[in-house]
Each structure stands twice: as C-alpha cells, then as structure tokens.
C-alpha cells in the first residue's frame, strides 16, 4: 500500500471530489490497462476515489517498476507516476469546461462556484482572441447566448432594454431603436466587420474594458444603465461605473450583466457618436466622442458629452455639457465645448497619436458630434 504521506499529498493535490472521471488508463509492466478495468477499483467514478488509485498503483508495483496512471476528469487531466522506491510525481493539466446555462441565475451560480478562472462568453470576439493568444486561460467558460432574457430587445414606459447577448447586427436591424437612439446603434455598428457584427455585443464591448471601446461613450452619453445579476442579488448600475481601468470592471466574480437599459426619450432629443481612426474600417479609435442632448424651443436644455480613448476609461465631461446647455450651439458655445473636452483629456502617447494630437482631436470631434446630435434633435445650425 502507498505510504500515509503519499496519500496526504494526493489529497492535497486534488482535494475536490466534484469532477467526474471521463477517461484514463494505467500503464505498467509494458501493458496499458483501460480505465474501464481500473474503474472497478474506484468507489463511484469520482475523484474521492483518487486515494484508491494510489493504493491500487502502489499495490501493483512500487518495488520494481514504474506505473503511470492517467485520469481524465471533466475538469483536469491528472497524471500520476509511481516509480520504484515509491517515489510519486503528479501533474495536473486543467481542462476548460464549457457551460451554456438557460437562465441568468444559473450563469451567476456557475461563476460563483468555479474556484478557478471563469469567463463569460457572449460573442467571443474579444474573449476567443485573448484565449488564442494565451492572454487568458479559463477553467470555465459560461456561454450566455442560450439565455432568453439576454437575447431580447424590449420596450417599456421606462425606455428600451437590450439583452446582453444581442449582437451588433441584430441591434442594427431594430428600426425603433435606430430611430430613438441612432448614436448608440451607430457606435455599436462601428465595431469590426460584418462578420464581427454577427457576433459582437455592446455588453462584451463594455466588459472587455478597452479605453477605445466604441459603444461605451455612446452608452454613457445616453444615460444607459446595466442590469447586473449575481448569485444572490440583482442591481442596476450606471454604465460609467462599470469600467474601472483598462481591462478592469467593477463586477464581482459571480456577477453577469443581463441587459442594458436606455431611458425613454423626451421629444426633441438627439444623440450621435463619432470616432477618429487612421483607417476608415477595422481600426480602433484614436479619439471618440458621444453626445446626447434635448432641446426646448430650439435651445439645448440638457446634454451629456463623453470622450473615448483619451483616458484609461471613457470620460463623462460635465463641463462640456455645461458649455452648450442654454445655447443654440453657436460658435461661442462650440469653442467652450472644445476647450472643456481638451481639458478633460488624459491620453497616452503612442504611435497612433501623441498626447497633443489626441487632445486637439478630442475638441474637434466633440464639436462635430454635438452638431449631429443637435440636428437630429430638430435644431438648425
Ligand atoms: C476583427 C475585430 C475587429 C474589432 N473592431 C472593433 C472596433 O472597431 N471597435 C471596438 O470597440 N471593438 C472592436 N473589436 C473588439 C470586439 O469585437 C468588441 O469589443 C465586441 O463588442 C466584444 O463583444 P463580444 O460579445 O464578442 O464579447 P466577448 O468576447 O464575448 O466578451 C468580452 C469580455 O466581456 C465579458 N463579458 C461578455 N458578456 C458579459 C456579460 N454579459 N456580463 C459580464 N461580462 C461579460 C467577457 O467575459 C469578456 O471578458 C474588434 C474585434 C475583432 C476581432
């Protein structure tokens, strides 16, 4: 039998007994024994029986030959080698699990229960790229596309609700949304190519937390809110509170965004989003701007101005909104708007744009975006 210290090490090495054994074999004495045969020595095909494997292996050969036991579970590939002299080595290679729950609560529970790295999969246009580049190695991938609430777009007295798994292409074919929030829909539609549009989501764009994410400034300008579901509670949070830095969000481990809400539009409202890229397609913003405003008798009554790609997160610029509220977007107001936007910039300096360049373009782009939003609201310039 294996020595007590070997058993203790094995238990430490693989303390969980929740994973099912789905394959494996044992080699020794020049033979390979399939797991079906080995399984007779296991209690219930679960890794609580790992100790029995050790006993089994030790029974067969510690004195003279090397035994190698390979067990594939639904969570890991385990290799146990017992050499002569009862020397034990163990290797564990994690295998990625894939789950596709049908309710948001199930998704949150899966996230909460995973002791390793768990990732939510929406369209996968960021996640799968990162996995291929070994930037992230999930133990568990939770695909949210089979959750009906995440695929729905609905309207209520409070506004519109867009499920977190709704793709850019689906959003673009929604006439009512395009009419009420053209800036938001345009921003989502700038993401990638037609192929990317078929998969990408605005929530994935948000949670990937890139400072240059296209849909985020437009969502923040719109006053969008995220409905977040955790294992035990739901909460609603303004979109600008979700991203805390590049690649970082304020979501807890068990939290998933179920949907985004856009408020009901007052009459005479308009929004717009523009980005500046060196190429016309398939590029990320060097600077971007989202503006949302409402008019009263031709004068701007309320406004929200947001910049993207000029700071670690999208920046809501209240001073820029203040510069145009009360105006008919005359030259003086536009100059103040540009100055307020330039003052709010804290960009990086890289080959795609220097700090000075980004700061200058932010003002210019905000002015152009405000003009489009103003005209969409019925204002004339
Ligand atoms: C060729 C190409 C071109 C691109 N062009 C652009 C572009 O022009 N502009 C731009 O902004 N981006 C661009 N992207 C990036 C990407 O397409 C977008 O960020 C897209 O919106 C991500 O959405 P997704 O559904 O594919 O996210 P996924 O890859 O599924 O997820 C992204 C991240 O969000 C998390 N997540 C997803 N859904 C949820 C949820 N409901 N709750 C909590 N967390 C969640 C995931 O775990 C992951 O960390 C491009 C990507 C590619 C491959």
Q: Are residues 208 and 110 in the same domain?
A: yes
User: Which CATH number do you get for residue 328?
Assistant: 3.30.390.50
CA dihedral 129, 135, 139, 145 (to 10 degrees): -30
Last residue of a domain, one of 94, 121, 146: 94
Q: Does residue 197 have its Cβ closer than 6 Å to ligand 1? A: no
117 lines ligand 1 (CB under 6 A): no
Q: Is 352 helix (H, G, I), strand (E, B) or coil?
A: coil
pTM value? 0.83
Q: Give residue 317 CA to ligand 1 midpoint distance, Å.
A: 25
Instruction: Say if residue 256 is in the same domain as residue 379.
Output: no
Residues 235 and 286 in one domain: no
The reply to whether 240 and 348 lie within a common domain is no
Domain match, 247 and 112 both: yes
Among residues 264, 293, 323, which one ends one of the domains?
264
> Which protein residue's CA is at the shortest distance from atom 7 of ligand 1?
191
Same domain assignment for residues 126 and 228 = yes
Pair (33, 87) in one structural domain: yes
CA atoms of 331 and 255, how far apart (whole Å): 46
Q: 3-class DSSP state for residue 236? A: strand
Q: What is the CATH number of the domain that holds 258?
A: 3.30.465.10
Task: Give the end of a domain, one of 56, 72, 94.
Answer: 94
Cα(200) to centroid of ligand 1, in Å? 6
Say if ligand 1 is within 6 A of residue 282 CB.
Answer: yes
Distance CA 356, CA 48 (A): 62
Helical spans, DSSP H, in the chain: 4-13, 35-38, 50-60, 104-113, 127-132, 148-151, 168-172, 175-180, 182-189, 194-197, 202-207, 215-222, 318-324, 331-344, 355-376
Cβ neighbours, 10 Å, residue 203: 28
| CA–CA separation, 288 and 315 (whole Å) | 10
pLDDT digits over 225-256, tens only?
999 999 999 999 999 999 999 999 999 999 99
**What values do phi and psi take at 246, rounded to 5?**
-60, 120
Place of tokens 């190429």: 279
How far is ligand 1, taken at its centre, from the CA of residue 146, in Å? 18
Cβ–ligand 1 distance for 124 under 6 Å, the answer: yes
Looking only at the bridges linking them, the beta strands covering 315-316 and 299-308 are: antiparallel
Nearest CA to ligand 1 atom 19: 205
Is the same domain home to 329 and 298? yes
> In which domain, by residue range, is 227 found?
96-264
What does the pLDDT look like over 322-377, one tens digit per residue? 999 999 999 999 999 999 999 999 998 888 889 999 999 999 999 999 999 999 99
Give the phi and the psi of residue 314 in degrees, each rounded to 5: -60, 145
Cβ of 286 closer than 6 Å to ligand 1, yes or no, is no
Give the count of domains, the chain. 3
Look at residue 81 in the predicted model and tell me its pLDDT: 74
Q: Can you give the pLDDT at residue 279?
A: 78
Look at residue 352 in the predicted model and tell me its pLDDT.
Answer: 83
Ligand 1 pocket member 144 (CB < 6 A): yes
Helix (H) or strand (E) holding 211: none
* Whether 227 contacts 202, CB under 8 Å: no
**In angstroms, what CA-CA distances link 248 with 163, 273, 295?**
22, 23, 36
CA 229/CA 241 separation, integer angstroms: 15
pLDDT (tens digit per residue) in 85-138: 666 677 777 678 899 999 999 999 999 999 889 999 999 999 999 999 989 989
- Same domain, yes or no, for 346 and 374? yes
Residues 281 and 367 reside in one and the same domain: yes
Based on the fold, state whether residues 84 and 107 are members of the same structural domain: no
Ligand 1: which of 204, 246, 256, 287 to mutate, judged by most atoms within 8 Å of the beta carbon?
A: 204
The Å distance, Cα 196 to ligand 1 centre, comes to: 9
Report how far Cα 138 is from the mean position of its chain's Cα atoms. Answer: 13
Ligand 1 touching residue 216 (CB < 6 A) = no
- Looking at the structure, do residues 103 and 235 belong to the same domain, yes or no? yes
């Amino acid at each position: 039998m294996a020595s007590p210290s070997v058993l203790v090490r094995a238990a430490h090495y693989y303390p969980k007994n929740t994973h099912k054994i789905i394959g494996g074999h044992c080699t020794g004495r020049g033979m390979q024994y399939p797991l079906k045969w080995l399984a007779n020595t296991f209690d219930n095909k679960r890794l609580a029986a790992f100790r029995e494997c050790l006993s089994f292996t030790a029974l067969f050969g510690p004195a003279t030959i090397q035994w190698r036991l390979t067990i594939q579970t639904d969570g890991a590939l385990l290799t146990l080698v017992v050499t002569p002299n009862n020397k034990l080595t163990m290797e564990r290679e994690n295998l990625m699990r894939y789950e596709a729950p049908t309710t948001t609560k199930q998704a949150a529970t899966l996230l909460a229960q995973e002791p390793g790295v768990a990732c939510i999969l929406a369209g996968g246009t960021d996640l799968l790229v990162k996995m291929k580049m070994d930037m992230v190695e999930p133990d568990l991938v939770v695909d949210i596309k089979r959750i009906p609430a995440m695929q729905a777009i609905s309207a209520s007295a409070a506004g519109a609700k867009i499920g977190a798994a709704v793709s850019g292409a689906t959003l673009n074919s929604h006439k009512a949304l395009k009419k009420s929030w053209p800036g938001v829909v345009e921003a989502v539609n700038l993401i990638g190519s037609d192929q990317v549009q078929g998969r990408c989501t605005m929530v994935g764009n948000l949670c990937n937390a890139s400072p240059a994410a296209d849909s985020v400034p437009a969502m923040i300008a719109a006053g969008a809110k995220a409905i977040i579901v955790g294992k035990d509670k739901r909460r609603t949070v303004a979109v600008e509170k979700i991203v805390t830095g590049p690649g970082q969000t304020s979501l807890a481990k068990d939290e998933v965004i179920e949907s985004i809400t856009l408020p009901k539009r007052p009459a005479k409202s308009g929004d717009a989003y523009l980005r500046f890229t060196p190429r016309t397609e398939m590029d990320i913003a060097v600077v971007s701007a989202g503006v949302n405003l409402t008019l009263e008798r031709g004068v701007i009554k309320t406004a929200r101005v947001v910049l993207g790609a000029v700071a670690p997160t999208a920046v809501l610029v209240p001073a820029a909104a203040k510069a145009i509220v009360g105006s008919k977007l005359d030259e003086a107001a536009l100059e103040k708007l540009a100055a307020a936007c330039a003052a709010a910039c804290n960009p990086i300096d890289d080959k795609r744009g220097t700090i000075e360049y980004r700061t200058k373009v932010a003002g210019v782009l905000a002015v152009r975006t405000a003009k489009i939003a103003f005209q969409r609201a019925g204002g004339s310039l």
